[in-house]
Structure 1
Amino acid sequence: MSKRDYYEILGISKDASQDELRQAHRRLVRKLHPDVNKAEDASSQFSEVQEAYDVLSDSEKRAQYDRFGHSDMGAGQPGPQGGGAPWSDVDPETFESVFGDFFKGAGGGRAGGGFDAAGFSGQGRRARQAAPRRGSDLRHQLDITFLVAARGGTETLRLTSHGGGEEKIEVRIPAGVQDGATLRVRGKGGSGSAGGPDGDIRLKLKVGPHPWYRRDGLDLMMDVPISITESALGVTVELPLLAGSATLRIPPGTGSGVKLRMSGKGITDAKGVSGDFLAVVSVVGPKSLSEEDQASLSEIGQRLDDPRRSLPWSESFES
Structure 2
Amino acid sequence: MSKRDYYEILGVSKDASQDELRQAHRRLVRKLHPDVNKAEDASARFSEVQEAYDVLSDSEKRAQYDRFGHSGMGSGQSGHPGSQGGGAPWSDVDPETFESVFGDFFRGAGGGSGGGFSAGGFSGQGRRARQAAPRRGSDLRHQLDITFLVAARGGSETLRLSGDDGSEEKIEVRIPAGVQDGATLRVRGKGGSGTAGGPDGDIRLKLKVGPHPWYRREGLDLLMDVPISITEAALGTSVELPLLHGSATLRIPPGTGSGVKLRMSGKGITDSKGVSGDFLAVVSVVGPKALSEEDQASLSDIGTRLEDPRRSMPWSETFES
TM-score, structure 2 as length reference: 0.90
Aligned residues of 1:265 and 1:277 also touching (Cα < 8 A):
yes
Greater shift in the superposed pair: 36-45 or 168-177: 36-45
Aligned residues of 2:106 and 2:118 also touching (Cα < 8 A):
no
Residue-by-residue CA offset, 1:50-70 (whole Å, 9 max, x unaligned) = 221221111111111112222
SS of structure 2 residue aligned to 1:76: helix
Q: Please list every run of 5 or more consecutive structure 2 residues that lacks an aligned counterpart in the other structure.
A: none
1:63/1:303 Cα in 2 relative to 1: closer, same or farther (>3 Å)?
same
RMSD of aligned C-alpha atoms? 2.6
1:140/1:317 Cα in 2 relative to 1: closer, same or farther (>3 Å)?
same
1:124/1:175 Cα in 2 relative to 1: closer, same or farther (>3 Å)?
farther
Give the superposition deviation at 1:174.
1.0
Give the superposition deviation at 1:72.
1.7
1:251/1:14 Cα in 2 relative to 1: closer, same or farther (>3 Å)?
same
> Which of 288, 291, 297 is the aligned partner of 2:290?
288
Residue-by-residue CA offset, 1:185-231 (whole Å, 9 max, x unaligned) = 11111111222211111111111111111111111111111122211
Residue-by-residue CA offset, 1:29-83 (whole Å, 9 max, x unaligned) = 2222223333333333223222212211111111111122223221250673231
TM-score, structure 1 as length reference: 0.90
Greater shift in the superposed pair: 156-165 or 290-299: 290-299
Alignment match, 1:194: 196
Alignment match, 1:82: 85
Q: Please list every run of 5 or more consecutive structure 1 residues that lacks an aligned counterpart in the other structure.
A: none
Aligned residues of 1:95 and 1:117 also touching (Cα < 8 A):
yes
1:13/1:257 Cα in 2 relative to 1: closer, same or farther (>3 Å)?
same
Give the superposition deviation at 1:22.
1.7
1:69/1:291 Cα in 2 relative to 1: closer, same or farther (>3 Å)?
same
Aligned residues of 1:141 and 1:204 also touching (Cα < 8 A):
yes
Q: How many residues align?
A: 318
1:177/1:127 Cα in 2 relative to 1: closer, same or farther (>3 Å)?
farther
SS of structure 1 residue aligned to 2:285: strand
1:27/1:308 Cα in 2 relative to 1: closer, same or farther (>3 Å)?
same
Q: % of aligned pairs identical? A: 91
Give the superposition deviation at 1:12.
0.6
Residue-by-residue CA offset, 1:96-142 (whole Å, 9 max, x unaligned) = 33344565489987x78996536523575586552222211111111
Aligned residues of 1:233 and 1:252 also touching (Cα < 8 A):
yes
Residue-by-residue CA offset, 1:246-301 (whole Å, 9 max, x unaligned) = 01011111111111110000111111111111111112222222333222222222
Alignment match, 1:154: 156
1:99/1:242 Cα in 2 relative to 1: closer, same or farther (>3 Å)?
same
Q: In 1, Cα distance between the equivalents of 2:128 and 2:154?
A: 45
Aligned residues of 2:144 and 2:207 also touching (Cα < 8 A):
yes
Q: In 1, Cα distance between the equivalents of 2:60 and 2:167?
A: 20
Q: In 2, Cα distance between the equivalents of 1:126 and 1:230?
A: 83
Residue-by-residue CA offset, 1:132-173 (whole Å, 9 max, x unaligned) = 222111111111111111111111110001211101111111
Aligned residues of 2:265 and 2:279 also touching (Cα < 8 A):
yes
Matches within 5 A, 1:225-240: 225-240=227-242
1:117/1:282 Cα in 2 relative to 1: closer, same or farther (>3 Å)?
farther
Aligned residues of 2:220 and 2:278 also touching (Cα < 8 A):
yes
Aligned residues of 2:82 and 2:90 also touching (Cα < 8 A):
no
